[in-house]
Amino acid sequence: MKKTFLSILILAVALILAAGCNSSKPPGKTTDKAAAAKSETKGAAKGDGKAAVAPGTPADASVLDEVKDIYVCKQNQMYISESEEVGAICPDGSKVLDWVEKMIDDGWTREDILELVQNLQMGRPMAQANGQPECAQDGALKVEGFIMSYCPYGVRWVTDTLDPMINNMGNALDYMPYFIMQKTPEGVLSAMHGQKEVDENLRMICIRDKWSVDKWHEYTQCFAKEIFNNREAPKDWTFCAKQVGIDPAAVEKCFKNEAAALAEKDVQLVMKYGAGASPTAVYNCNKNIVGAIPFQNIKSTLCRMIPDPKPEACTRS
């Protein structure tokens, strides 16, 4: 057993060194589960009636499922379990599972196996904890999308991620767009792409708050097609306002008189969630996914965040 322990330890160190230096410990989805299980074990020892395995008991094959929800594949940034669901390749995850099977055969405890796996160098999961409490609702997914109106990736997030998300999840999706801006010491709003972005952000905030989120979505689809991506003959913002049935004069009035105050919430939420990159999507208040990742590529990750009952979209391949 000592010989096998040494060989596995050497393999683990080799995996860490091969992946480069990283002082942070990658978060695992079942880290909390492991802690909870330890707590249950202690409770059972005190006689609270819970069935649990005593600490130090050799692990059985059930620990493999926990490992699959801890280890993140370096090739695709998915957990092993997610890779299995979508048929993605995860060679390093397969090696880890082989090692764990050997540990089980050699009598390792569940606690020791999980501790070793959690300390391996691995990929980073797409959904990163942001330090805020979860706000999940049964059968629904809350999405707060933080974008910059003139950021190509922010625009792409709307067309490639949000649009199909809405089409697939329908009423199971509770979404709200916000805009990434900062305030100077003098209290003036600023944005990465200059004043034109500040102005467009404020117009979109007006449409979102004074009309509706759905109307903002219609306007933004037009903005993406007729203004941002129209290199030959880009239209003016008033064109898209009229296209979706909004009076440009009413938007202009909001822009001049109310927009800066309405934007205060956006500024505060950007700081709260650490959403400085466009796009950053915050799911159920506590998980951030950065980047314009197509919906189909993150669908399984999002469905895992939705408490039962899952929407129909999560049962379709």
Is residue 135 within 8 A of residue 285, CB to CB? The reply is: yes
Higher pLDDT, 36 or 154: 154
Q: What is the mean pLDDT of residues 29-57?
A: 46
CA distance 201 to 55: 56
pLDDT at 7 over 80: no
Let me know how many helices (H) and strands (E) the chain has, helices first.
14, 7
Give 109-121 pLDDT, tens digit per residue.
999 999 888 888 7
Give 239-292 pLDDT, tens digit per residue.
999 999 999 999 999 999 999 999 999 999 999 999 999 999 999 999 999 999
Q: What is the mean pLDDT of residues 7-27?
A: 33
Q: What is the mean pLDDT of residues 32-54?
A: 42
Task: Please choose, from the candidates 173, 104, 98, 180, the residue with its C-alpha nearest in 3D space to the C-alpha of residue 137.
Answer: 173
Q: Which of 90-99, 150-159, 299-308 is the most confident on average?
A: 150-159
Q: What percent of the chain has pLDDT over 90?
A: 57
pLDDT at 29 over 70: no
pLDDT of residue 317: 67
Longest dimension (CA), the chain: 78
Give 173-190 pLDDT, tens digit per residue.
999 999 999 999 999 999
| E strand or H helix that includes residue 82 | helix 80-86
Give 64-111 pLDDT, tens digit per residue.
999 998 898 887 778 888 788 777 788 888 999 999 999 999 999 999
pLDDT at 50 over 70: no
Give the Cβ contact number of residue 165 at 10 Å: 25
CA distance 72 to 77: 6
Higher pLDDT, 14 or 114: 114
pLDDT of residue 53: 59
Higher pLDDT, 291 or 19: 291
Pairing of strands 141-147, 173-179: parallel
pLDDT of residue 26: 35
What angle is formed at CA 50 by the lines to CA 44 and CA 52, rounded to 5 degrees?
65
Sign, CA dihedral 35-303-288-204, equals negative
Question: Would you give the DSSP letter of residue 170?
Answer: G
pLDDT of residue 52: 55
What are 110's two structure tokens?
Answer: 């569940």
The residues with which 176 forms a beta bridge, in sequence order, are 144
* Residue 38 confidence class, pLDDT cut points 50, 70, 90: very low
pLDDT of residue 8: 41
pLDDT of residue 225: 95
